[in-house]
A and B are shown apart, each in its own frame.
Chain A
């Protein structure tokens, strides 16, 4: 009589593990990377710009 219940418990446990593995873990890996690029601009000294880079055509108006 209890057999079906234990099967359900096992299924639920597996389902949680599956969801954790497929959804949560990738998010944990991806989130820090995207947060870093949004909050920390890539800084470089002006001196590192070459003459060719300075004269390269660009899309900015003005």
Chain B
């Protein structure tokens, strides 16, 4: 995933296409040109390791209620002004206060010992610790574990296609349906993200989408409608969409938290556009965090925050009332 030009190396992993001089790092801070070869300095060196409920990712249609071994290294290829995990994502590995030594074999062994059925590559973005994610995922599959990634999906098609071969589920951030937003807030662009979502879907990865709704920046209902229609047409009406509540963070402390009514309106708009599973997140206790049958409205999975309070699907993921098959990976 790199090409050499004199002493500099062109990184072909993400759409930034950094040209990295000898001894320097790319924009993500962790992919470094050492002697003309690109090295990911955080390989085997995660800085965050936790066991979370799957609902926290959020993945609502993938092994619900199961604990997921969640891992991240420092670094990110986006620089969102509102980043929720900036202490991890906007630093290089050498800047972290704590680093764990864990090669892929260690990681998978630990996940199994802790009775986790899956590993999530999350918190920062697995795109920048691609090799570590890929190698760990291969071993995880060999040992019967599933893999999921939580990502901004800012990655080129070739490396993504390879990664999809070992990833079972993904929650991809679709930050806005507006290229200007991507440029101003994240220092990125929209089209590569859309292409990546379509590719993940085509490669058979179970895909859920998250849209963090930020007051005045991406809460325009007409834009939300266009985004929902695009998801319906390109990814399918059964694709879960999570509208998540913004909290003032990092370099965006001048805006208030998203009002609940804004999230309600966004959810209504997306349902009206034809999406069947539209959720509201970061708002514990809201009924929009539960799963309902799109055919008859039966409560299928009740949630409060990250916790499941009701579960009425059968083993094959069918509605107990009308037998509608609910899309997802339930076992």
A residues sitting closer than 8 Å to B (CB atoms) are: 37-47, 49, 51, 54-56, 58, 60-62
Contact = CB atoms under 8 A, between A and B. Distances in A.
Given A54-B51, A60-B123, A61-B85, A45 B99 contact: no
Contact of B123 (A38, A40, A51, A62): A62
A38 B96 CA distance: 8
A41 B99 contact: yes
Contact of B100 (A37, A49, A55, A56): A49
Nearest to A51: B114
Interface residue SS majority, chain A: mixed
Contacts of A41: 47, 93-99
A47 B110 contact: yes
B114 A44 contact: no
B101 A60 contact: no
B106 interface: yes
Given A62-B57, A62-B122, A62-B123, A45 B49 contact: no
Interface string B55-94: 0110000000000001010000000000011001000011
A37 B57 CA distance: 31
A60 B88 contact: yes
B99 A43 contact: yes
Given A42-B98, A56-B50, 19 more contacts: A41-B96, A41-B98, A42-B97, A43-B101, A44-B101, A45-B106, A46-B100, A46-B107, A47-B110, A49-B100, A54-B49, A58-B48, A60-B84, A60-B85, A60-B88, A61-B85, A61-B123, A62-B56, A62-B123
B202 interface: no
B102 interface: yes
Contacts of A44: 98-101
B207 interface: no
Nearest to B48: A60
